[in-house]
Amino acid sequence: MIRAGIVGGTGYTGVELLRILALHPDVQVSAVTSRADAGQRVDKIYPSLRGYCDALFSLPETANLLDCDVVFFATPNGTAMTMAGELLDQGIKVIDLSADFRIKEIADWETWYGMTHASPQLVAEAVYGLPELNREAIRQARLIACPGCYPTAVQLGFLPLIEAGLIDSQNLIADVKSGVSGAGRKAELSSLMSEAGESFKAYGVAGHRHLPEIRQGLGLVAGHPVGLTFVPHLTPMIRGIHATLYASLQQDADLQNLFEQRYQDEFFVDVLPAGSHADTRNVRGSNRCQIAIHRPQGGNTVVILSVIDNLVKGASGQAVQAMNLMFGLAERQGLETVALYP
Amino acid sequence: MIRAGIVGGTGYTGVELLRILALHPDVQVSAVTSRADAGQRVDKIYPSLRGYCDALFSLPETANLLDCDVVFFATPNGTAMTMAGELLDQGIKVIDLSADFRIKEIADWETWYGMTHASPQLVAEAVYGLPELNREAIRQARLIACPGCYPTAVQLGFLPLIEAGLIDSQNLIADVKSGVSGAGRKAELSSLMSEAGESFKAYGVAGHRHLPEIRQGLGLVAGHPVGLTFVPHLTPMIRGIHATLYASLQQDADLQNLFEQRYQDEFFVDVLPAGSHADTRNVRGSNRCQIAIHRPQGGNTVVILSVIDNLVKGASGQAVQAMNLMFGLAERQGLETVALYP
Amino acid sequence: MIRAGIVGGTGYTGVELLRILALHPDVQVSAVTSRADAGQRVDKIYPSLRGYCDALFSLPETANLLDCDVVFFATPNGTAMTMAGELLDQGIKVIDLSADFRIKEIADWETWYGMTHASPQLVAEAVYGLPELNREAIRQARLIACPGCYPTAVQLGFLPLIEAGLIDSQNLIADVKSGVSGAGRKAELSSLMSEAGESFKAYGVAGHRHLPEIRQGLGLVAGHPVGLTFVPHLTPMIRGIHATLYASLQQDADLQNLFEQRYQDEFFVDVLPAGSHADTRNVRGSNRCQIAIHRPQGGNTVVILSVIDNLVKGASGQAVQAMNLMFGLAERQGLETVALYP
Amino acid sequence: MIRAGIVGGTGYTGVELLRILALHPDVQVSAVTSRADAGQRVDKIYPSLRGYCDALFSLPETANLLDCDVVFFATPNGTAMTMAGELLDQGIKVIDLSADFRIKEIADWETWYGMTHASPQLVAEAVYGLPELNREAIRQARLIACPGCYPTAVQLGFLPLIEAGLIDSQNLIADVKSGVSGAGRKAELSSLMSEAGESFKAYGVAGHRHLPEIRQGLGLVAGHPVGLTFVPHLTPMIRGIHATLYASLQQDADLQNLFEQRYQDEFFVDVLPAGSHADTRNVRGSNRCQIAIHRPQGGNTVVILSVIDNLVKGASGQAVQAMNLMFGLAERQGLETVALYP
Dist CA A34 CA A17 (whole Å) = 14
pLDDT value, residue A240? 98
A110 in helix, strand or coil? helix
Report which DSSP code applies to B26. Answer: T
| pLDDT score for A201 | 98
Distances (CA, A) of D191 to A326, B43, B178, B185: 44, 20, 19, 11
Distance CA B13, CA B149 (A): 11
Q: Do A342 and B238 touch (CB under 8 A)?
A: yes
Q: Which CATH class is domain A2-125?
A: alpha beta
Q: Do A194 and C187 touch (CB under 8 A)?
A: no
Note whether C192 contacts A197, CB cutoff 8 Å.
no
Q: Give the helix, strand, coil percentages of chain A, each rounded to 5.
A: 35, 20, 40
Residue B324: its pLDDT value, please?
Answer: 98
B-chain residues within 8 Å CB-CB of A52? 338
Catalytic pick from A53, A68, A146, A149?
A149
> Cis link prior to A236 (omega < 30° from 0)?
no
Q: Which of A12, A189, A194 to mutate to test the interface with C (most CBs of C within 10 A)?
A: A194
- The closest of B223, B220, B270, B225 to B102, measured between CA atoms, is B220
Q: Is C185 in Cβ contact with A193 (below 8 Å)? A: no
CB pair distance less than 8 Å for B205 and C342? no
* Calpha distance D203→D179 (Å, rounded): 13
CA distances from A62 to A133, B198, C161 (A): 31, 46, 65
Residues C236-290: pLDDT tens digits? Answer: 999 999 999 999 999 999 999 999 999 999 999 999 999 999 999 999 999 999 9
pLDDT at D281: 98
Contact D192 B198 (CB under 8 A): no
Residue C311: its pLDDT value, please? 98
* Contact predicate A72/A6, CB 8 Å: yes
What confidence category does residue D228 fall into, taking pLDDT thresholds of 50, 70 and 90? very high
SS3 category, B308: strand
Long-range contacts, B115-122 (Cβ 8 Å, 24+):
B115/B77, B115/B78, B117/B81, B118/B78, B118/B81, B118/B82, B119/B81, B119/B82, B119/B84, B119/B85, B122/B81, B122/B84, B122/B85, B122/B88
8 A C-beta contact, residue A145 and residue A306: no
- The helix (H) or strand (E) run that includes residue A156 is helix A149-163
**Do the Cβ atoms of B313 and B283 come closer than 8 Å?**
yes
CA distances (Å), C283 to each of B74, C264, C291, C312, C338, in order? 37, 18, 11, 9, 8
Q: How far apart, in whole angstroms, are the C-alpha atoms of residue D82 and residue D100?
A: 10
Chain A hits for C181, CB-CB cut-off 8 Å, are 194
Neighbouring chains of A at 3+ CB pairs within 8 Å? B, C, D
Residue A296 to residue D198, Cβ atoms within 8 A: no
Query: CA A3: distance to chain centroid?
Result: 22
Long-range contacts of C79-88 (CB under 8 A, 24+ apart): C79/C7, C79/C8, C80/C7, C81/C117, C81/C118, C81/C119, C81/C122, C82/C118, C82/C119, C83/C7, C84/C119, C84/C122, C84/C143, C85/C119, C85/C122, C86/C62, C87/C62, C88/C122, C88/C142, C88/C143
Cβ-based neighbours of C221, under 8 Å, separated by 6 or more: C133, C159, C162, C163
Percent of all residues in chain C with a pLDDT value above 90, rounded to a whole number: 100
Question: Which chains reach chain D with 3 or more Cβ–Cβ distances below 8 angstroms?
Answer: A, B, C
End-to-end CA distance of chain D: 34
First to last CA, chain B: 34
Strand order in the sheet with D143-145: D57-58, D27-33, D2-7, D70-73, D93-96, D143-145, D127-128
Of D192, D236, D238, the CB nearest to B191: D192
Give every CB contact of residue C244 below 8 A, 6+ residues apart in sequence: B175, B202, B231, B233, C174, C175, C176, C177, C303, C304, C305
pLDDT tens digit sequence for D141-163: 999 999 999 999 999 999 999 99
**Are A216 and A151 within 8 A, CB to CB?**
no
Residue D111 neighbours by CB under 8 Å, 6+ apart: none
CB B282 within 8 A of CB B339: yes
Domain residue extents for chain B: 2-125, 149-310
DSSP E strands in chain B: the ranges are 2-7, 27-33, 57-58, 70-73, 93-96, 127-128, 143-145, 172-178, 201-202, 228-234, 241-248, 269-271, 289-294, 301-308
CB contact at 8 A, D299 and D233: no
**Is A149 an active-site residue?**
yes
The 3 state secondary structure assigned to D21-63 is HHCCCCEEEEEEECCCCCCCEHHHHCHHHCCCCCCEEECCCHH
Tens of pLDDT, residue by residue over A153-174, are 999 999 999 999 999 999 999 9
Cα separation, D281 vs D122, whole angstroms: 37
- Residues of chain B contacting residue D12, judged by C-beta atoms under 8 Å apart: 194
At CB < 8 Å, which residues of chain D contact C?
A: 12, 15, 18-19, 22-23, 44, 46-52, 181, 185, 198, 238-239, 267, 270, 272-273, 276, 279, 281-286, 288, 290, 336-342
**Order of strands across the sheet with A70-73?**
A57-58, A27-33, A2-7, A70-73, A93-96, A143-145, A127-128
Instruction: Report the distance separating Cα D127 and Cα C282, nearest Å.
Output: 35
Residue of D nearest to B179 (CA): D194
Q: Contacts of residue C203 in chain B, CB cutoff 8 Å?
A: 277
Better-scored residue on pLDDT, D9 or A269: A269
Average per-residue pLDDT for chain C: 97
Do the beta carbons of residue B177 and residue B203 sit within 8 Å? no
Q: What is the mean pLDDT of residues C178-193?
A: 96
- D33-59 pLDDT, tens digit per residue, is 999 999 999 999 999 999 999 999 999
The nearest CA of chain D is from the CA of A61 a distance in Å of 38
C173 and B177 in contact by Cβ < 8 A?
no
Q: Least CB-CB distance to A12: which of C194, C196, C197?
A: C194
**What is the pLDDT, as a whole number, of residue B89?**
98
- Spell out which residues of chain D touch residue B185, defining contact as CB-CB under 8 Å: 189, 192, 194-195
Q: With cut-offs at 50, 70 and 90, classify the pLDDT of residue A286.
A: very high
Indicate the average pLDDT of chain A: 97
Q: pLDDT per residue over D254-266, tens digit each?
A: 999 999 999 999 9
Residues of A within 8 A of B283 (CB-CB) are 48
Which chains neighbour B (Cβ–Cβ under 8 Å, 3 or more pairs)?
Answer: A, C, D
Q: List the single residue in B15, B51, B272 with the smallest CB-CB distance to A270.
A: B51
Residue A157, pLDDT score? 98
Taking an 8 Å cut-off on Cβ atoms, the answer to whether A285 and B285 are in contact is yes
Class of domain A149-310: alpha beta
CA distance C313 to C134: 15
Summarize the confidence of residues B62-83 as an average pLDDT: 97
d(CA D173, CA D184): 25
**Chain D residue with minimum CA distance to A306:** D201
Q: Could you tell me which chain C residue has the CA closest to the CA of D13?
A: C342
The predicted structure's pLDDT at residue A189: 96
Beta-carbon contacts of C61 under 8 Å, excluding residues fewer than 6 positions away, are C33
CB contact under 8 A, B189 and D188: no
Query: Cβ contacts of residue B80 below 8 Å, gap of 6+?
Result: B7, B73, B94, B96, B98, B100, B101
Distance from CA of A265 to the nearest CA of C (A): 34
CB-CB: which of B49, B337, B341 is closest to A15? B341
Q: Cβ separation of B342 and A238 shorter than 8 Å? A: yes
Task: Spot the catalytic one: D53, D68, D146, D149.
Answer: D149
Q: Which member of C53, C68, C149, C289 is catalytic?
A: C149
Judged by CB atoms closer than 8 Å, whether chains meet at D191 and B196 is answered as: no
Q: What is the pLDDT of residues B289-313, one digit of tens each?
A: 999 999 999 999 999 999 999 999 9
Residues 6 or more apart in contact with residue A326 via CB below 8 angstroms: A70, A93, A95, A138, A139, A141, A144
Look at C195 and B342 and tell me if their CB atoms are within 8 Å.
yes
Which amino acid is it at C92? I
**C-alpha–C-alpha distance, residues D184 and D13, integer Å:** 8
Q: Please state the pTM of the whole predicted model.
A: 0.98
- Chain D residues whose C-beta is within 8 A of a chain B C-beta are 12, 180-181, 183, 185, 187-189, 191-198, 236-238
- Residue of chain D whose alpha carbon sits nearest to that of B189: D187
- Report pLDDT digits (tens) over B252-285: 999 999 999 999 999 999 999 999 999 999 999 9
| Nearest residue of chain D to residue C20 (CA atoms) | D338
> Which chains does C contact via 3+ CB–CB distances below 8 A?
A, B, D
Question: Are B180 and D187 a contacting pair at CB < 8 A?
Answer: no
B194 and D187 within 8 Å at the Cβ level: the answer is no
How many angstroms separate the CA atoms of B293 and C205, rounded?
10
Preferred mutation among A170, A173, A201 to probe D, highest tally of D CBs within 10 A: A201
DSSP-derived secondary structure for D259-271: HHHHTTT-TTEEE
Q: State the average pLDDT for chain D.
A: 97
Closest-CA distance, B181 to chain D, in angstroms, reads 6
Q: Cβ distance B246 to C173 under 8 Å?
A: yes
Query: What 3-state class would DSSP assign to C140?
Result: helix
Q: Provide the sign of the torsion angle of the four alpha carbons C304, C310, C312, C316, taken in this order.
A: positive
Domain D149-311: give its CATH architecture: 2-Layer Sandwich (3.30)
Q: Would you say the C-alpha torsion D247, D253, D257, D258 has a positive or negative sign? A: negative
Chain B neighbors of D181, CB-CB under 8 A: 194
| Closest residue in B to A278 (Cα–Cα) | B47
CB atoms within 10 A of CB C276: 17
How many CB pairs below 8 A link B and D?
Answer: 56
- Count other C-beta atoms under 10 Å from residue D206's C-beta: 13
Q: How much is the CA Rg of chain D, to the nearest whole Å?
A: 19
Confidence at residue D209, expressed as pLDDT on a 0 to 100 scale: 97
Distances (CA, A) of A342 to A338, C201, D193: 12, 20, 9
